[in-house]
Amino acid sequence: MENRCRTKARLLFFTLMMLSSVRTSVSDGISIYWGQNGNEGNLTSTCATGRYGFINIAFLYIFGNGQIPQINLAGHCNPSSGGCAVVSKGIRDCQNRGIKVMLSIGGGVGNYSLSSTSDAKNVADYLWNNFLGGSSSSRPLGDAVLDGIDFDIEAGSTQYWDDLARYLSEYSNQGKKIYLTAAPQCPYPDSHLGRALNTGLFDYVWVQFYNNPPCQYSSGSVDNLLSSWKQWTSSVPATKLFLGLPAASNAAGSGYVPVNVLNSQILPVIETSSKYGGVMLWNRYYDYKSGYSSSIKSSSTLHLLRYIRCDFELKNTIFLRLLAFVMLW
């Protein structure tokens, strides 16, 4: 038994060493919303943590229906005076690390809607010229070119978002790919984004499994969440789906999942889906305070550790010392 267990231990160690050499693979699957709390740190420090693969800058909260678009980055900068152009440096710093940076449009509080197909075209043109690869004298975030647009549509009209997605996707023909992402509510289908998601144009969809009791973790049960996840992965033609969660118990009204439940009861199930892309967290400020994403990052290591069931004491072996080093690295 001892020799067999030591063999398992050696195999696990070399597996962990391989994981450490590609340690960014887990962080590549974590998406975070940034921009709604001035105490969350700037983009450069956020991306320097190595925890995230996607940054959603939140929010462009006024647009459409003939309105002058406005962005709100809480305490980070004042867009009305052009002060948010400084964010360009952070965007480039993140992109230089291989992190995709999106502009999130909509949000839970805002004044936005699309009144027609032509209105959707006008909004697409504005986004292209002011945040993507086009040109404008009034780019709110400066001259950095974002990687795509995130649809966090929770209010306003329920129509023409599919048209907006089509118009934005057409700009990919002009060179750099425009990524489209979305954050629908977990009740399926989403009342605002259902038609847009059915276009099949979205690369990543981070479903919000919080503030929605019928399809979230509640009362210690994961059943509703897992059932809803299965429906989303079998129904939405997106490249990858993400599990959207609050990064702390006070980050949302309901739906917080304790880390131990996430790692032991949810991730082992949803990771088996070919459409699983990772976890989305709301938001950077709460994650900064709780460290929730760092626990997700180590989940693959924790899953591997379950394969070791040894009857002898390993505390003083070289293996465990090296194992500890790999896990902490």
Say if residue 317's pLDDT is above 90: no
What mean pLDDT comes out for the span 187-214?
Answer: 97
Residue 326 pLDDT = 45
Q: What is the pLDDT of residues 56-67, one digit of tens each?
A: 999 999 999 999
Residue 14 pLDDT = 54
Catalytic residue among 40, 154, 170, 313: 154
Residue 27 pLDDT = 60
Q: What is the pLDDT of residues 134-154, one digit of tens each?
A: 999 999 999 999 999 999 999
Q: Which helix (H) or strand (E) holds 224?
A: helix 223-235
- Looking at per-residue pLDDT, the higher value among 325 and 261 belongs to 261
Where b means 16+ CB within 10 Å and e means fewer, 279-299 reads bbbbbbbbbbebebbeebbeb
Residue 311 pLDDT = 39
Q: Is the CATH number 3.20.20.80 carried by domain 27-310? A: yes
Instruction: Answer whether 278's CB lies under 8 Å from 245's CB.
Output: no
Q: Quickly state the pLDDT bin for 174 (edges 50, 70, 90).
A: confident
Pairwise CA distance, residues 288 & 168, whole Å = 32
- Tell me, yes or no, if 154 is annotated catalytic: yes
Residue 173 pLDDT = 80
pTM here is: 0.85
Domain boundaries, the chain: 27-310
Say if residue 30's pLDDT is above 70: yes
Question: Which residues are within 8 A (CB) of 188 and not within 5 positions of it... i.e. 6 or more apart?
Answer: 215, 228, 231, 232, 235
Residue 217 pLDDT = 98
Q: 10 Å Cβ neighbour count for 217?
A: 24
Say if residue 18's pLDDT is above 70: no
Residue 309 pLDDT = 39
Question: Which residues are within 8 A (CB) of 313 and not within 5 positions of it... i.e. 6 or more apart?
Answer: none
Q: What mean pLDDT is reported for the chain? A: 87
What mean pLDDT comes out for the span 256-264?
Answer: 96
Q: What is the pLDDT of residues 94-126, one digit of tens each?
A: 999 999 999 999 999 999 999 999 999 999 999
